């Protein structure tokens, strides 16, 4: 059995992978346990890693550092790809407000850091280390350590103490945000809020019947009418003299025609003014059979975009309605329903709801692909190329006024920014960035698990001897304050003053604290993408701000 002992105890790349795998497996297993109906999920991997680190195994530190960094890179890049398609639209709708709130969390934490340092005998470098742990922000720790080395002339003990302070505060930094989210949900959020948010999401797309009584649109084609309004909606079917037809852009609308229109709910009043009136009864009624077209049965079918030639192509340029007599009523992208407007650029993986005759839909399917097997194999070129570009961006030195050395986004900030850009704009350059939801989830979960395992192993060596000292307990208490107080202050302001939805609020809080473990918990209790989109909306700005201002804090006050 000497071979087994040597494999497990002798430092090597194989031994490091074995230890990381064992830590991850045990942590994931424990993460399934629930206490008071609450599970921390893969966050347990970090705590198991601390226990293994405390055993003080002789591990290849270079390999451990590589695995930790690669896990973090994989997680943030996959997250960027996931939220990229909806990132900039969310930025237009409420991103400025979300980022201002996230900056509020950051600056309240920085102010508290200075106050607690002056009010106690804890040095500012150690207090900054506690702040990095309380905000679970290891890239900020790396930047702060670099700044401290230049300020102190390379005092390695001060640098090591800062890292230890981060490790001590880190566990409650993870749990603190989750506890704050639970506290908010229990005491400040009505029980039916999440249900209402789902209803609001489901009702975002509105289907209604409109009766033409406005003389201004009578005798005009649909193309001409669309030029009269800035709103986007789809006229799915026309009922005229007892006959239901699927319209084209050249279809003429007449007095007393009935239209079946799919639009955003917020545009209903505008459409009512345009056409005359909306029927106040269920549109699927007995006197008009919308599903009967010229004595043939209407077919409604979901088609999936898999043809790379239409990736990034605007829906209007395909002229599918005029050429094939079909209507695309909506587009589902990553679980989000989008209105099928002519200016909408298609992406690989989009699911189109197509209405028309079966033969016509079959022809359209040949154009857009509709071969689900093509999506089973992700485009690895976009993944590896994106990671490489993200790391290059993260290593780019950015000069900052008043600082003697440049600031870098690091291995967390660079990849998530490139991931977002690839997810949002890749299709415009015919780059296939689509991955199935299960594949993206696998990348994120695997990367985060490896990262947590390595971080715990690295922090566990002196963890317990520090924690059980008076100084360590004070560090833990201050770290918990730096975690919870800024989060609760900004969360309550967001809810009570700005009436921000709970799902966006908690996603913003997780992003401002750079806490992917808390985001993972939020994803388990909220069944939509709002938290992840809010997380990615504020994460790049929050990460950059923390990296810059932790360094500025040391330079200004030491």
**What strand order describes the sheet that includes 292-293?**
276-278, 205-212, 258-264, 233-240, 243-245, 292-293, 296-297
Asked if residue 455 and residue 382 are part of one domain, the reply reads: yes
Q: What percent of the chain has pLDDT over 70?
A: 86
Tell me, what's the pLDDT at 405? 65
Of 41-50, 251-260, 485-494, the poorest mean pLDDT is in 41-50
Q: What percent of the chain has pLDDT over 90?
A: 18
Asked if residue 355 and residue 385 are part of one domain, the reply reads: no
Asked if residue 93 and residue 77 are part of one domain, the reply reads: yes
Asked if residue 241 and residue 209 are part of one domain, the reply reads: yes
Tell me, what's the pLDDT at 199? 45
As to burial, measured by CB atoms within 10 angstroms (0-12 exposed, 13-18 middle, 19+ buried), residue 86 is buried
Residues 105, 509 contacting (CB under 8 angstroms): yes
Residue 543 reports pLDDT greater than 50: yes
Structural domain ending residue among the three candidates 374, 400, 420: 374
**Rounded to two decimals, what is the model's pTM?**
0.65
CATH of the domain at 319: 3.30.70.1450
Structure token pair of residue 222: 């649909």
Residues 458, 82 contacting (CB under 8 angstroms): no
Number of domains into which the chain is organized = 2
Residue 166 reports pLDDT greater than 80: yes
Tell me, what's the pLDDT at 20? 94
Structural domain ending residue among the three candidates 374, 405, 422: 374
Q: How confident is the model at residue 557 (pLDDT cuts 50, 70, 90)?
A: confident
* 3-state secondary structure (DSSP) of residue 221: strand
C-alpha 254/C-alpha 240 separation (Å) is: 8
Asked if residue 402 and residue 271 are part of one domain, the reply reads: no
Q: What is the 3-state secondary structure (H, E, C) of 396-422?
A: CCECCCCCCCCECCHHHHHHHHHHHHH
Asked if residue 145 and residue 126 are part of one domain, the reply reads: yes
Phi, psi of 221 (to 5 degrees): -80, 160
Phi, psi of 34 (to 5 degrees): -120, 135
Structural domain ending residue among the three candidates 322, 348, 374: 374
Tell me, what's the pLDDT at 285? 52
Q: What is the 3-state secondary structure (H, E, C) of 473-501?
A: HHHHHHHHHHHHHHHHHHHHHHHHCCCCC
Which of 35-49, 331-345, 386-400 has maximum average pLDDT? 386-400
Question: Whole domain around residue 365: which residue ranges?
Answer: 203-374
Asked if residue 388 and residue 336 are part of one domain, the reply reads: no
Asked if residue 281 and residue 245 are part of one domain, the reply reads: yes
C-alpha 384/C-alpha 380 separation (Å) is: 6
Asked if residue 287 and residue 260 are part of one domain, the reply reads: yes
- Rounded average pLDDT over 90-99: 73
Asked if residue 473 and residue 492 are part of one domain, the reply reads: yes
Asked if residue 304 and residue 211 are part of one domain, the reply reads: yes
Residue 544 reports pLDDT greater than 60: yes
- Rounded average pLDDT over 519-539: 79
Asked if residue 209 and residue 181 are part of one domain, the reply reads: no
């Amino acid at each position: 059995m000497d071979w087994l002992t040597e494999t497990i105890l002798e430092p090597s790349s194989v031994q490091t992978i074995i230890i990381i795998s064992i830590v991850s497996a045990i942590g994931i297993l424990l993460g399934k346990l629930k206490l008071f109906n609450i599970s921390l999920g893969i966050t347990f991997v970090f705590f198991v890693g601390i226990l293994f680190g405390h055993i003080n195994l002789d591990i290849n530190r270079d390999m451990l550092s590589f695995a930790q960094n690669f896990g973090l890179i994989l997680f943030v890049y996959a997250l960027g790809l996931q939220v990229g398609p909806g990132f900039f639209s969310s930025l237009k709708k409420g991103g400025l407000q979300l980022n201002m709130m996230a900056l509020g969390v950051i600056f309240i934490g920085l102010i508290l850091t200075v106050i607690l340092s002056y009010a106690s005998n804890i040095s500012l470098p150690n207090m900054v280390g506690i702040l990095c742990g309380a905000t679970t922000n290891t890239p900020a720790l790396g930047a702060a350590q670099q700044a401290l080395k230049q300020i102190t002339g390379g005092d390695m003990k001060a640098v090591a103490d800062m890292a230890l302070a981060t490790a001590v505060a880190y566990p409650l930094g993870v749990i603190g945000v989750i506890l704050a989210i639970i506290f908010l949900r229990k005491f400040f959020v009505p029980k039916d809020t999440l249900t209402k948010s789902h209803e609001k999401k489901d009702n975002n797309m509105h289907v209604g019947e409109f009766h033409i009584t406005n003389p201004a649109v009578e005798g005009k084609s649909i193309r001409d009418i669309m030029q009269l309004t800035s709103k986007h909606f789809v006229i799915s079917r026309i009922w005229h003299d007892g006959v239901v037809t699927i319209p084209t852009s050249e279809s003429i609308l007449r007095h007393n025609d009935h239209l079946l229109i799919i639009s955003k709910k917020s545009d209903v009043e505008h459409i009512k003014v345009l056409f005359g009136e909306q029927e106040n009864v269920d549109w699927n009624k007995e006197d008009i059979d919308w599903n009967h077209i010229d004595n043939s049965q209407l077919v409604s079918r979901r088609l999936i975009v898999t043809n790379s030639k239409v990736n990034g192509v605007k829906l209007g340029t395909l002229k599918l309605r005029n050429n094939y007599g079909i209507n695309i009523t909506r587009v589902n992208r990553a679980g989000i329903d989008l209105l099928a407007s002519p200016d909408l650029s298609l992406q690989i993986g989009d699911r189109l709801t197509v209405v028309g005759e079966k033969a016509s839909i079959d022809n359209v399917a040949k154009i857009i692909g509709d071969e689900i097997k093509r999506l089973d194999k992700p485009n690895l070129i976009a993944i590896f190329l994106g990671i490489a570009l993200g790391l290059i961006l993260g290593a780019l030195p950015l000069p900052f006024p008043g600082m003697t050395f440049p600031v870098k986004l690091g291995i967390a900030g660079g990849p998530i920014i490139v991931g977002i850009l690839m997810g949002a704009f890749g299709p415009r350059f015919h780059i296939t960035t689509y991955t199935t939801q299960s594949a993206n989830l696998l990348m994120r979960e695997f990367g985060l698990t490896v990262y947590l395992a390595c971080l715990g192993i690295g922090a566990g060596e002196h963890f317990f001897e520090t924690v059980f000292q008076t100084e360590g307990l004070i560090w833990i208490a201050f770290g918990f304050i730096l975690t919870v107080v800024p989060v609760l202050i900004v969360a309550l302001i967001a809810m009570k003053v700005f009436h921000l939805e709970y799902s966006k609020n908690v996603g913003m809080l997780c992003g401002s604290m750079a806490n992917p473990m808390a985001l993972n918990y939020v994803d388990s209790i909220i069944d939509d993408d709002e938290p992840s989109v809010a997380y990615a909306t504020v994460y790049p700005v929050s990460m950059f701000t923390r990296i810059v201002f932790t360094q500025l804090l040391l330079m200004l006050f030491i």
